[in-house]
Structure 1
Amino acid sequence: MRMHDHPTIHYPDYVWPEGKRCAVVISLDLDAESPFLWISRGQDINHLGEIEQRRYGPRQGLKRITDLLAEYGIQGSFYVPGVVAETYPELLPHLVAGGHEIAHHGYYHERIEALPPAQAEDYLGQAQDLFRAQTGLTGLGHRAPSWEMTPDFLSAMERRGISYDSSLMGFDHPYHVGNLVQVPVQWMVDDALYFRYTNSARDKTHPANPGAVLESWIEEFEGMREYGGLFMLTIHDWISGRPQRLRLLRKLIEHMRRDPTVWWARADEVAAWHASSINSERFRVPAHSINTHFPI
Structure 2
Amino acid sequence: MTEADARRLTVCLSFDVDAMSGWINKTDNAAMISRGEFGAFAIPRILSLLDRHGAKATFFVPGHTALAYPETVRSIAKADHEIGHHGWVHENPATFDRDGENKILQRGIDALAEVAGVRPIGYRAPSGQFSPDTVDLLIKAGFRYESTLAATDFWPYYVRNGDVVSKTEPFVFGEPSELIEIPIAWALDDFPLFELTPGSASPQHTPSEVREIWQTEFDYAYANAPGGVMTIIMHPQVIGRGSRLNMLDGLLEHMASHPGVVFESMETVETRWRSENPLDAYLQNGGPLPR
Same fold, judged at TM 0.5 (above): yes
Alpha-carbon distance in structure 2 between the residues aligned to 1:206 and 1:170: 25
Match of 1:5 in 2: none
Conserved 8 A contact 1:194-1:207: yes
* Aligned counterparts, 1:53-64, within 5 A: 53-59=35-41, 61-64=42-45
Alpha-carbon distance in structure 1 between the residues aligned to 2:30 and 2:116: 32
* Match status 1:225 vs 2:222: yes
* Match status 1:92 vs 2:89: no
Match of 2:150 in 1: 169
CA shift for structure 1 position 263: 2.6
Runs of 4+ in 1 over 4 A off after TM superposition: 279-286
Match of 1:49 in 2: 31
* Aligned counterparts, 1:1-296, within 5 A: 17-40=4-27, 45=28, 47-59=29-41, 61-172=42-153, 173-177=155-159, 178-198=177-197, 200-201=198-199, 203-228=200-225, 229-278=228-277, 280-281=279-280, 283=282
CA shift for structure 1 position 105: 0.3
User: What do the CA deviations read for 1:198-233 (whole angstroms, capped 9, x no partner)?
Assistant: 4x11x3144212212111111000111122232111
Tell me the secondary structure at the aligned position of residue 146 of structure 2.
Answer: coil
Conserved 8 A contact 1:82-1:127: yes
User: What do the CA deviations read for 1:25-62 (whole angstroms, capped 9, x no partner)?
Assistant: 1100001111111123xxxx3x3321112211102x11
Conserved 8 A contact 1:174-1:270: no
Conserved 8 A contact 1:80-1:102: yes
Conserved 8 A contact 1:104-1:127: yes
Conserved 8 A contact 1:75-1:100: yes
Q: Structure 1 stretch 123-132 or stretch 133-142: which is displaced more? A: 133-142
Conserved 8 A contact 1:139-1:161: no
Tell me the secondary structure at the aligned position of residue 145 of structure 2.
Answer: coil
CA shift for structure 1 position 246: 0.4
Tell me the secondary structure at the aligned position of residue 123 of structure 1.
Answer: helix
CA shift for structure 1 position 91: 2.4
In angstroms, what is the RMSD of aligned CA positions?
A: 2.2
CA shift for structure 1 position 162: 1.2
Conserved 8 A contact 1:175-1:274: no
User: What do the CA deviations read for 1:261-280 (whole angstroms, capped 9, x no partner)?
Assistant: 11321111111111111365
Conserved 8 A contact 1:139-1:163: no
TM-score normalised by the chain length of structure 2: 0.85
Match of 2:172 in 1: none
Tell me the secondary structure at the aligned position of residue 138 of structure 1.
Answer: coil
CA shift for structure 1 position 150: 3.2
Conserved 8 A contact 2:83-2:120: no
CA shift for structure 1 position 140: 2.3
Alpha-carbon distance in structure 2 between the residues aligned to 1:264 and 1:17: 14
Question: What is the number of equivalent residue pairs in this alignment?
Answer: 266
Residue identity matched to 1:35:
G
Residue identity matched to 1:54:
G
Tell me the secondary structure at the aligned position of residue 24 of structure 1.
Answer: strand
CA shift for structure 1 position 18: 3.7
| Unmatched 5+ stretches in structure 2 | 160-176
Alpha-carbon distance in structure 2 between the residues aligned to 1:227 and 1:16: 19
Match of 1:3 in 2: none
